[in-house]
Chains A and B, each alone.
Chain A
Amino acid sequence: MTHTVLVTGVSRHIGARVASVLAADPDISRVIGVDAVSDAGPDSVSDAGSDVASDGLSPPPGNRDDGTAGRIEYVRVDLRSPDIAQVIAAADIDTVVHMSLVSAPSRSTGRAAMKEHNVIGTMQLLGACQRSATVRRVVVRSTTAVYGSSPRDPAVFTEDLEPHDGPSHGYAKDAVEVEGYVRGFARRRPDVTVSLLRFANFLGPGVDSPLTRYFTQPVLPTVFGFDPRLQFVHEDDAVEVLRRMATEDHPGTYNVAGAGVLLLSQCVRRAGRLSLPLPSPAFRLLGTAVRRAGLVDYSPEQLRLMSHGRAVDTADLEAELGWKPKFSTGAAFDDFLRSRELRPLVGGAHL
C-alpha cells in the first residue's frame, strides 16, 4: 500500500529532515511539505523560512541534493487559514505529521501571531482532518514543557501525570491547548490513529534553538541557588521516532527524551562556559531585556525551568517501539558540543 503524507513545519530543521526521510521510504508515494509562513510576501517557503524563527531553520533546498527531496512537494499554506483543508482534500492524504509548533515568538510578528499560528493553526489542521475521509493517522509534535516545572511536582513525569502548576503562558501554554484539541480530535475520530509526542529539547549539529543559542553564549546566566535537571533528545532520535510514528500505528501519548539527565552546572562545565548566577528577580529583568533584543528566550517558563528543571519517563515509548534513543541526554549534549567545537575550559579531554 502506498501512502501520501502531509508534513507541516517543513521549513525548519527537524521538519525538513522528517520530510526527506519519509520521502525516501519506498512505501510512501508522496510527501507534501507544508509551512505556514507568517509574513505575507512573494518569497518562497525557503526564503521566508528565516522569519518563522525559533527552533532550527534549514531551508528545504538544503536537502534537495540527496535525491529524495525531489519527491517532496512544497505547498505554502498559512495554517491559520482554511486553505489547509483543500490541500488535504485534493491530495487524498492518509497520514498527517504536524510539527509546526513554534516555540518562540519571531521578532517581526510577536507573541500574538505565534499563539495564533500554534493554536488556531492546529485547530484548522485538525478540523480539516476531521472532515477528511482519507486521513488514517495523525502524528503531533508536542513538548515536555506541558508538564511545567515546579518544586511541588514529582521528579520524573510520566505521561499520565497531571502537573501541579501547569504552564500558564507562552509556548508551553500553547502546547497544552494544542494537546487539548488533539485529544478532542482523537475522541471524535476514534478510527484515526493519533500519536502525540512530547519531545524534550532538541539538540544536535543542525539544531538552532533558543537553547542552543543559550549554550553558545560566552557567559551563561543561571538562577542563583538552583541547579535544574535538564533532558535533551538528539535530532537523529527525534527524526527516527517521528518516522516510526508516521509509518506505523502507535496510538497514544509518549514522552521522547534521551536517557538520563544533566544538571545545568554540568552542561556549563562541559561546554567550557562560565555561569553567572543571578537572583531570580534579576534573572527575570535580564530576561525581559534580552527577549526584547530577540537574542535568547528567557520567558517566565524558562525561569521556572532554570530553577526547578524537568525530567520525563520514556518507558512507554521504549516499550511501544521496542527501541531506545541512541543518544542519551549526555551523549546528545556532547554531540552538540562537538558540532559547535565547544570544550571544557580545563583538562579538555572528555570528548
Chain B
Amino acid sequence: MTADPVADGTADPAADPAADRTAELLAFLRRRLTGDYEVDEFGYDAELTDKVLLDLLRPLYRHWFRVETAELKHIPDEGGALVVANHAGTLPVDALMMQVALHDEAGRALRLLGADLVYQLPVLGHLSRKTGHTLACPEDADRLLRKGELVGVFPEGFKGVGKPFSERYKLQRFGRGGFVASAIRAGVPIVPTAIVGSEEIYPKIGDLPSLARLLGLPYLPITPFFPLLGPLGLVPLPSKWMIEFGEPIRTDEYEPGAADDPMLVFNLTDHVREVIQQLLDQLRLRRGHAFPPFL
C-alpha cells in the first residue's frame, strides 16, 4: 500500500505512532499517580477532563444523540463570554453535551455555573469541579469572566430541567437575571443558545413530590420507562439533537455600574429570553422529528 511510514523515508522507524502513544500514555499515568498535575483554583483538572472524562461522553454525543451544531462562529476564540442556554431533560445531560460541543468544535473549555445541590452530593460535586464547573453565585461568575473564561449558565435552573414533557420547548422564568449583571460587570458578550433534543431524552410525565422532598431533591420524575424498568429506565432516549449559538449580545456599552440598575438588568434578561425562545422555535422546526426514522 502507499501509506507505509517506513517506506516513505521521512519517518524514523523507531518513532512509530503506536510507541509514541504508549509513551504518552505512560507519562500520563505517571503524572496522575504521582499527583504531578495542575488544577485551577476552582478545582478544574483540564488534563483529566480532556483525556478521560470527555472521552467517556463522546460516544453519547456523536452516536447516541448525533449532536449537530450551528453558528459556532458566534463563540469568541478567546476571552470571556457568557453562554446562556435553555435547560431541559430531567437530568442535566444538555450541560454535558454543550461542553463536548464547545470543546471539540470551538476549542473552548466551558465553565458552567451549577446549582448548590450538585456540590452537596458526593461524587457529583467533585466531578463537577474537576470538569471545570462551579457554584452559580455572582462571585464565581465574576471571577471566571474576569479571567477570560467561557462561562455557561442555564437561568431556568430546576424550573427548566424538571418541567413536565407537556411544556417542552417553552422557556421557563429566568431567575433574577444575576447572569446579566455579571456579564455587564465584566463587559463580556452574552451568547444566547438553543439546545433542541434534550427535551425528549427523559419525557417527564409525572412527579413524586413527597418522596422527592424526603430525599431532598427538587423533583423525582416519572417517565414512561422510569421507575417502571428500574435502572434500564435511566437510559436516555436517543433523540436527535441540535445546538445553535445565536448572535452575541454586547454588554460593553454599559458602564459596569449599570449592573446595579434593576430595570436595565430585567429588560436585558427579558431580551435574552426572547431571543433564545425564537432560536429554539426555529431550530426545532429545522430538526423535525425527534426520533428521525420512526417518529
Contact = CB atoms under 8 A, between A and B. Distances in A.
Interface in A180-225: 223-225
Interface stretch (B130-138, B165-173, B205-213): B130-138
B139 interface: yes
A344 B35 contact: yes
Interface of A: 151-156, 158, 161, 223-227, 229, 260-263, 265-270, 280, 308-309, 311, 344-350
Interface in B28-49: 30, 32-43, 45
A154 B130 contact: no
Interface string B125-157: 110011000110101100100000000000000
Contact of B35 (A151, A158, A229, A267): A267
Contacts of A224: 122
B116 interface: yes
Secondary structure type dominating chain A contacts? loop
B44 to A, nearest CB: 10
Contact of A151 (B36, B119, B130, B139): B119
Nearest to A311: B41
B119 A270 contact: no
Given A225-B125, A226-B122, A263-B43, A269 B139 contact: no
A349 B140 CA distance: 36
Given A151-B119, A155-B134, A344 B34 contact: yes
Given A155-B42, A227-B129, A344-B34, 11 more contacts: A156-B41, A223-B122, A225-B125, A226-B126, A262-B35, A263-B39, A266-B39, A270-B36, A311-B41, A346-B34, A350-B34
B29 to A, nearest CB: 9
Given A226-B125, A227-B130, A265 B35 contact: yes
Contacts of A262: 35, 39
B135 A155 contact: yes
B36 A345 contact: no
A267 B36 CA distance: 10
Interface string B103-121: 0000000000000100111
26 contacts: A151-B125, A155-B41, A155-B135, A156-B139, A156-B143, A225-B126, A226-B125, A226-B126, A227-B130, A229-B41, A229-B43, A260-B38, A262-B35, A263-B39, A269-B35, A270-B34, A280-B122, A308-B119, A309-B43, A344-B33, A346-B33, A346-B34, A347-B30, A347-B33, A350-B34, A350-B35
B123 interface: yes
A217 B143 CA distance: 36
A345 B43 contact: no
A280 B116 CA distance: 18
A152 B34 contact: no
A152 B134 CA distance: 10
Contacts of B123: 225
The listed residue with most B CB atoms (<10 A of its CB), out of A151, A161, A265, A308, is A151
B43 A261 contact: yes
Contact of A154 (B36, B43, B139): B139
A269 B45 CA distance: 15
Interface of B: 30, 32-43, 45, 116, 119-126, 129-130, 134-135, 137, 139-140, 143
Nearest to B30: A347
B126 A227 contact: yes
Given A226-B126, A229-B39, A268-B35, A154 B30 contact: no
Given A151-B135, A270-B36, A347-B34, A156 B125 contact: no
A268 B33 CA distance: 10
A260 B41 contact: yes
A154 B142 CA distance: 11
Contacts of B122: 223-226, 280
Given A151-B116, A151-B120, A161-B139, A269 B41 contact: no
A147 to B, nearest CB: 12
A155 B140 contact: yes
Contacts of B121: 225
Contact of B42 (A156, A227, A345): A156
Contacts of B40: 260-261
Contacts of B137: 153-154
A154 to B, nearest CB: 4
A150 B42 CA distance: 14
Contacts of A311: 41
A155 B45 CA distance: 15
A21 to B, nearest CB: 30
A280 B41 CA distance: 24
A227 to B, nearest CB: 4
Nearest to A263: B39
A229 B38 CA distance: 12
Contacts of A263: 39, 43, 45
Contact of A261 (B34, B41, B143): B41
A349 to B, nearest CB: 8
B209 to A, nearest CB: 23
Nearest to B134: A155
Contacts of A266: 35, 37, 39
Contacts of B30: 346-347
A154 B126 contact: no
A158 B139 CA distance: 9
